[in-house]
Amino acid sequence: MQNKYNQLYTEYTTILRNAADNNYAAAVLGWDQEVNMPPKGAAIRGRQLATLASQAHNLLTSQHLETILKQLADCEELAANEKNNVRLSLLDFEKNKKIPAAFVEELTVLTNECFNCWLDARKKNDYTVFAPYLAKMIRLKKQQAEYYGYEKHPYDALMNDYEKGATVAGLDPVFKRIGEKMPILLNKIKNAPQVSNQCYHLYYPKQQQWDFSIEVLTKMGFDFEAGRQDYSEHPFTTSFSPCDVRLTTRVDEYNFASLLWSCIHEGGHGLYEQGLPEKEYGLPLCEATSLGIHESQSRLWENNLGRSLHFWSYFYPILQRKFPQQLESISLNEFYKGANRVEPSLIRTEADELTYHFHIMIRYEIEKLLIEGSLQPKDVRAFWNDYYKKYLGISPMDDKTGVLQDVHWSHGSFGYFPTYTLGSMYAAQFFEQAKTEIPNLNIEIANGQFSSLLSWLRKKIHHSGRTYTSNELAIAITGKGLDADLFMNYLDEKYTKIYNL
């Protein structure tokens, strides 16, 4: 009997890994599309991506796979990790089979067209170029929500792709709390003497910035034998296995923060991908818990470490030696405070740790309204500009710094944005627990020693793959679920010191 189930499990893993091979081959083409592909390659690239997506979908929705999964689900002899893979694959199967193969192909082709249209719209700085394609994407995402099914709001079905169990009913109170509590802290900061970040806006040559970013990533523990960094229009991380993880960034020679924070942020994503168990390739246990937990890793490295005084106690002397003309007269404390300057700004990826969540809230509101049909794509620019004025008191100077700044909608990633705020909250919670369990962690960080923290993250988060939901993982690590109050307390304590409130 045991041999029968061993054979079935082997057959199951072969099917899933064949599907993964298709999906990761498509991911390679997607990475190439954003990094290397010549403009004329776009149309046929869409066909290639659609073919691979369709083949993977057919494998993952076959009756043969369903039969195997149901037989394996009844097997008590499977090891714990095998049971978890089967359990999660059954859930995935039930979800995947709701989507027709023809729809998958149509969505993949449109995503390719949409992305290239977004690039063209950014070059022309004109949202009207992108709006008709966004309308097509919204139509398909509404259809996808109907295929999945939902109880209360169609946006719930799309969020569930990124954060299992997330709902409008659950997230509305989170953003309401941010909208009520964060302005109190922001008003205190507004009335305090502003810290300077002028040193970030001097001239920093592109290659020297790049070299420093590689040094930071290496020190963080990113394995360049199993990954690389390149340039792209919008920073992102993609992975083809734990042994091949790609980061991208962008450089502004008069804004050092642009590369700095995106590099550390994407590095956090990359470390998570490299930490997933290679032996489970293609199976649920070689996938991240959720996008919220993925974002917790990038936000933990970017904010809890990268914007900390301990982090720069180690890296700032190195940076001063690389850029003596720019930084020789700037103290460590000035540089640190500049890294945490709070000021409403237009670009989400360059926003400070506080106002960042208003950027997310605006996108969350727009996506909800688009999917429920209360907002039309042609009106998104006006809505965007009005909400930036309402929440941040500023208005985009053009479409490139406004409604066209993010790549997500061109990828069809509706439901993704809320995970950034959830990730920040989980990050604060996890980092607080890490400090409790790792003696002298801040001292280690100040000495450029990150191995203890990375080992802790590997053991507590990375190695478990999708074994837990986000909330279950938080409970397993910290003894309680998502704690929004801890996040707000962390911000209060940090910025009270920086601004002498």
What phi and psi, each to the nearest 5 degrees, are found at residue 248?
-135, 155
Contact (Cβ atoms closer than 8 angstroms) between residue 332 and residue 312: yes
* Residue whose pair of structure tokens reads 């929500």 in the numeric block: 145
Percentages (nearest 5) of helix, strand, coil residues in the chain: 70, 5, 25
Strand-pair category, 227-231 with 244-249 = parallel
Give the model's pLDDT for residue 179: 86
Q: How big is the chain by its Cα radius of gyration, in Å?
A: 23
Among positive and negative, which fits the CA dihedral 403, 404, 410, 413? negative
266 is catalytic: yes
CA terminus-to-terminus distance, the chain? 69
Q: According to the model, what pLDDT value does residue 39 have?
A: 85
| Phi, psi of 228, rounded to the nearest 5 degrees | -155, 170
Q: Count CB neighbours of 116 within 10 A.
A: 20
Q: Which two tokens stand for residue 350?
A: 């360059």
Q: How far apart are CA 241 and CA 250, in angstroms?
A: 24
- Tokens standing for 440? 């002298």
- The identity of residue 17, as a single letter, is R
**CB-based burial of residue 46 (10 Å sphere; 0-12 exposed, 13-18 middle, 19+ buried)?**
buried
Q: Characterize the bridge pairing of strands 244-249 and 237-241.
A: antiparallel
Cα separation of 419 and 439, whole Å? 30
- The one-letter amino acid at 178: I
Q: What is the pLDDT of residue 2?
A: 60
| 22: phi then psi, degrees, rounded to nearest 5 | -65, -45
163: its two tokens: 């954060």
Q: Judge contact between 461 and 475, C-beta under 8 A.
A: no
pLDDT, residue 31, reads 87
The predicted structure's pLDDT at residue 47: 87
Q: Which residues pair with 241 in a beta bridge?
A: 244
What is the pLDDT, as a whole number, of residue 1? 47
pLDDT tens across the length of the chain (501 residues): 467 778 999 999 999 999 999 999 999 998 888 888 888 888 898 889 889 988 999 999 999 999 999 999 988 889 999 999 999 999 999 999 999 989 999 999 999 899 999 999 999 999 999 999 999 999 999 999 999 999 999 999 999 999 998 999 999 999 998 888 888 999 999 999 999 999 999 999 999 999 999 999 999 999 999 999 998 887 889 999 999 999 999 999 999 999 999 999 999 999 999 999 999 999 999 999 999 999 999 999 999 999 999 999 999 999 999 999 999 999 999 999 999 999 999 999 889 999 999 999 999 999 999 999 999 999 999 999 999 999 999 999 999 999 999 999 999 999 999 999 999 999 999 999 999 999 999 999 999 999 999 999 999 999 999 999 999 999 999 999 999 889 999 999 999 999 998
CB distance 121 to 127 below 8 Å:
yes
pTM comes to 0.90
168-498 folds as: Neurolysin; domain 3 (1.10.1370)
In the numeric block, the tokens 């953003």 are attached to 175
The C-alpha atoms of residue 244 and residue 229 are separated, in whole angstroms, by: 11
DSSP tag of 303? I
Q: For residues 244 and 255, what is the distance between their CA atoms, to the nearest angstrom?
A: 30
H-type helices in 74-195, by residue range?
80-96, 101-124, 127-148, 154-159, 168-190
Cα–Cα distance for residue pair 87/303, rounded to 1 Å: 35
| Domain boundaries defined on the chain | 168-498
The Cα 343–Cα 182 span in angstroms is 13
Q: Which of 163, 266, 295, 353 is catalytic?
A: 266
